Amino acid sequence: MSHISVIKTHLKNREFLIRALEELGYRVVEGDNLSVQANNRKKQVDFLIEIPYSDPIGFRESKNGYQIVADWFKVLTDRNTFRNQLVQKYTYLYLKSELDKQGFEISREEVSEKNQIHLVVRRTV
């Protein structure tokens, strides 16, 4: 049976969230009156991503960070895998930006078999 689920996150920066989604290969749709629907119920969202042959996944801002809104019975991706990939990409982009602001550059980047990212940074003068 379909129903709308909301996953809370601590992802607060809209720009990095949208960039992370785009880098993961999703097309972000922004506009007024966007919503996610299931069983004659709908939840308003700030923006969403469309997945081919699947229902969309929406995002709405909340006090503690963006929420992921979807009918996971009609989404053709695993919610935990999706959330983990999104959080990792968002964190990576945010960290790179902060390191750059503080005068650091990434001298080496490695991705393990478990998809863990290891960065070696150095300060540029």
> For the chain, what are the domain ranges?
5-123
As a whole number, mean pLDDT of residues 74-78 equals 90
CATH number listed for the domain at residues 5-123: 3.30.310
Q: How many other C-beta atoms are found inside a 10 Å radius of the C-beta of residue 29?
A: 13
Q: pLDDT tens digit string along 84-120?
A: 999 999 999 999 999 999 989 888 989 888 888 888 8
Q: pLDDT tens digit string along 31-48?
A: 999 999 888 888 999 999
Helix (H, G, I), strand (E, B) or coil at 40: coil
Q: What's the chain's average pLDDT?
A: 91
